[in-house]
Amino acid sequence: MHAQNEPIELFYWPTPNGWKISIMLEELGVPYEVRYVNIGAGDQFKPDFLAIAPNNRMPAIIDPEGPGGPISVFESGAILQYLGRKFGQFYPSDERARVAVEEWLFWQVGGLGPMAGQAHHFRNYAPEKIAYGIDRYTNEVNRLYGVMNKRLQENRYLGGADYSIADMASLGWVKPYKDQGQDLEEFPNLKRWFEELMARPAVARGLEVGKAEREKLNLAANKDAQAMLFGQRARS
């Protein structure tokens, strides 16, 4: 595996999108340093962060040992691919296997993540309980869980036979399944996958990163953080 001498900087907050990268870095066992981006306090709008992550969303990384010099990467999927390519792990180089991993990686980034995020919002954070929004996103997450469950009936992992960045991407979004109104008993293959992954020591370490910070923020009760995160419009 490629050696990493200087630590990778991880711009991070402990949420499902942040966990993808803390898990990957723990799985790789490469040195990294966490730079907390407290999204409830507005750190995502600081100019230094926007310079590497123009979408004002974490995670992002800076690899001081990038190709030809330091490189920054934003968007969790792009970060997972970058790290997988660089270290030659959890992202197969065989084209067929790679395509399967990419299918499920993009499925998570474009589907499971946004839909589960909306389910969290309408179920747990919206100031009014809007039945239409709750039902729409709870049902869509249920459909997506069904898609994963079917895939995992014939494949041990989402990408196929091997554990990959596609699994790391989805795990953090299944972890809060109760907040999405889901019951894993309905999805036995997904439950088997979830329990296997949660038992991996590197996954446990990745999920621990910044846990205390997350508990301090308590978004459901923190009106200032909600004002920072909800109702954003274009900024000049």
Residues lying near ligand GSH in the complex (CB under 6 A): 15, 17, 39, 44, 56-59, 75-77, 109, 229
3 state SS of 15: coil
Instruction: Give min distance, CB of 3 to ligand GSH, in A.
Output: 27
Instruction: Give the span between the Cα atoms of 215 and 84, in whole angstroms.
Output: 30
Instruction: Give the span between the Cα atoms of 116 and 214, in whole angstroms.
Output: 18
- Which contacts qualify for 92-99: CB closer than 8 Å, 24 or more apart? 92/159, 92/162, 92/164, 97/159, 97/160, 97/162
Name which of 59 and 210 has its Cβ closer to ligand GSH: 59
User: Angle at CA 48, nearest 5°, toward 44 and 49?
Assistant: 30
56 with 45: CB under 8 angstroms?
A: yes
Instruction: Give the span between the Cα atoms of 28 and 84, in whole angstroms.
Output: 9
Instruction: Give min distance, CB of 94 to ligand GSH, in A.
Output: 25
Instruction: Give min distance, CB of 185 to ligand GSH, in A.
Output: 27
Phi-psi region of 11 (alpha: psi -120 to 50; beta: other; left: phi over 0): beta
Instruction: Give the span between the Cα atoms of 178 and 173, in whole angstroms.
Output: 11
Instruction: Give min distance, CB of 161 to ligand GSH, in A.
Output: 26
Instruction: Give min distance, CB of 236 to ligand GSH, in A.
Output: 17
Instruction: Give the span between the Cα atoms of 170 and 4, in whole angstroms.
Output: 26
Name which of 12 and 157 has its Cβ closer to ligand GSH: 12
Name which of 2 and 46 has its Cβ closer to ligand GSH: 46
Instruction: Give min distance, CB of 27 to ligand GSH, in A.
Output: 18
Instruction: Give the span between the Cα atoms of 200 and 195, in whole angstroms.
Output: 9
Name which of 76 and 170 has its Cβ closer to ligand GSH: 76
Name which of 15 and 180 has its Cβ closer to ligand GSH: 15
